[in-house]
């Protein structure tokens, strides 16, 4: 086992589908003080130091030769301006971090990096419907400097607290600097992508079974809804390829050479989950086409069946219509066996038509 694999094996791995979270946190307008600060700690030689306020942490980290990991949750503009002033964050990155709803990207500034990650979790449901929420997305922004890493979380997706606790037990990794935190966050996000993709794959298999089952069902609305939900996952995964390629292959003073193999490993997992998501999307398109074709075939069967019964009714109607015209000079009009003959003729025509329709599979 390589050192990279060993490190990944010690990172927090969730082996079950993410469950819906509890009640959401208070909106920024109802918070007081520094509740937007989830955790703030200084790490020196991979060891967590005594607690310190976020506005004093950077100075202390520089003096001790370590770095600050500051975790924030949905800060307001006013709250984040104080953080930006202390850590010297670029105004454009600050604006993106506050407003959220950004595309996954990696921006490089004079002495810092700003990375946007889309998070995803699978929403459990008893049965997939035309309105089911399957994939719920959030965002994590990461500011990376020589002596700090700031994570800004939007949405109710957790995992960073547990990730911090796990990393604090991995001194060798934390000794590589703030980029080790960026690696761990991206690795956790991508691992959640894998879990969501596997869960969505189960839904796709359930739809596929339903479409090709003997029972007559209309799965088109459910297929379309799942494609929309899968699109949200694809928008989170696909744009992440370029930022990870940059971190893995391009030299950067903030990312030591020792960290590149770690980012390359995350990149590999991202490419695999990207291919899986694209494959699921293509499979759903094929299932949708199959469902539409099955509906069309069923409608054709109905029309043939209706046409067959219309033909069966038309034959006796023709005979009855001819003998119902009441002309005096009509063949067999005064024959005593004319009435039973007409009934037998109707029955014979209906029988012959029925056999013909049955033979051709119309009935």
**What would the pLDDT profile of 109-161 be if each residue is shown by its tens digit?**
988 999 999 999 999 988 888 888 999 999 999 999 999 999 999 887 668 88
pLDDT at 23 over 50: no
Q: What is the mean pLDDT of the chain?
A: 83
Q: What is the mean pLDDT of residues 232-238?
A: 93
327: confidence class by pLDDT, cuts 50, 70, 90? low
Domain boundaries in the chain? 3-192+203-294, 303-359
Burial class of residue 174 (count of CB atoms within 10 Å of its CB; 0-12, 13-18, 19+): buried
What is the C-alpha to C-alpha distance for residues 352 and 100, in angstroms, rounded to an integer? 73
Residue 195 has pLDDT above 80, yes or no: yes
Fold classification of 3-192+203-294 (topology level): Beta Polymerase; domain 2 (3.30.460)
Using an 8 Å Cβ cutoff, are 46 and 173 in contact?
A: yes
- What's the CA gap between 66 and 46, in Å, rounded? 8
Q: Where are the alpha helices (DSSP H) in 41-90?
A: 54-64, 77-87
Q: Bigger pLDDT: 21 or 296?
A: 296
- CA distance linking residue 194 with residue 271, whole number of Å: 11
H helices of the chain, in order, are 3-10, 54-64, 77-87, 91-99, 160-167, 171-174, 179-211, 220-237, 241-249, 257-323, 338-359
Residues 27-39: tens digit of each pLDDT: 443 344 457 899 9
CA distance 106 to 162: 25
Calculate helix-pair angle for 160-167, 179-211, nearest 10 degrees: 130
Section 283-297 average pLDDT = 84
How would you class 337 by CB atoms within 10 Å of its CB: exposed for 0-12, middle for 13-18, buried for 19 or more? Answer: exposed
Average pLDDT of the segment spanning 71-75: 91
What pLDDT does residue 113 have? 95
Residues 139, 231: Cα–Cα separation, whole Å: 16
**Do the beta carbons of residue 79 and residue 36 sit within 8 Å?**
yes
For 221-245, what is the mean pLDDT? 92
Q: What is the distance between the alpha carbons of residues 363 and 353, in angstroms, rounded to a whole number?
A: 11
Using DSSP's 3-state secondary structure scheme, residue 172 falls into: helix
Q: Which of 235, 236, 362 is nearest to 309 (CA)?
A: 362
Asked if 60 contacts 53 with a C-beta cutoff of 8 angstroms, the reply is no
The per-residue pLDDT for 153 is 92
Position with higher pLDDT, 184 vs 292: 184
Q: Can you give the pLDDT at residue 7?
A: 41
């Amino acid at each position: 086992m390589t050192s990279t694999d060993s490190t990944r094996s010690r990172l927090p791995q969730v082996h079950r589908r993410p469950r819906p979270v509890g009640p959401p946190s208070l909106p920024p307008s109802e918070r007081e003080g520094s509740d937007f600060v989830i955790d703030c700690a200084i790490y020196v030689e991979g060891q967590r130091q005594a607690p310190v306020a976020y506005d004093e942490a950077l100075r202390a980290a520089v003096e001790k030769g370590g770095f600050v990991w500051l975790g924030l949750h949905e800060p307001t503009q006013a709250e984040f301006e104080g953080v930006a002033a202390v850590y010297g964050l670029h105004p454009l990155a600050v604006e993106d971090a506050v407003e959220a709803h950004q595309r996954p990207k990696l921006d490089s500034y004079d002495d810092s990096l700003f990375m946007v990650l889309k998070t995803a979790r699978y929403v459990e449901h008893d049965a997939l419907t035309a309105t089911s929420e399957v994939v719920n997305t959030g965002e994590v922004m990461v500011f990376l400097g020589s002596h700090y890493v700031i994570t800004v979380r939007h949405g109710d997706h957790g995992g960073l607290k547990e990730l911090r606790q796990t990393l604090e037990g991995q001194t060798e990794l934390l000794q590589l600097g703030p980029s080790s935190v960026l690696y761990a966050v991206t690795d956790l996000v991508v691992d959640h992508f894998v879990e969501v993709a596997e869960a969505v794959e189960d839904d796709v298999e359930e739809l596929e079974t339903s479409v090709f089952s003997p029972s007559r069902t209309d799965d088109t609305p459910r297929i379309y809804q799942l494609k929309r939900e899968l699109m949200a996952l694809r928008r989170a995964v696909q744009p992440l390829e370029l930022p990870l390629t940059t971190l893995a292959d391009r030299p950067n003073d903030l990312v030591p050479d020792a960290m590149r193999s770690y980012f390359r490993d995350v990149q590999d997992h991202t490419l695999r989950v990207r291919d899986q998501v694209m494959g699921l999307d293509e499979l759903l398109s094929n299932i949708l086409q199959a469902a539409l074709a099955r509906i069309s075939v069923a409608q054709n069967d109905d029309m043939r069946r209706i046409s067959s019964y219309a033909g069966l009714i038309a034959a006796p109607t023709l005979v009855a219509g001819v003998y119902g015209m009441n002309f005096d000079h009509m063949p067999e009009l005064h024959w005593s066996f004319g009435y039973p003959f007409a009934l037998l003729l109707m029955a014979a025509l209906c029988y012959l038509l029925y056999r013909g329709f049955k033979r051709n599979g119309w009935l």
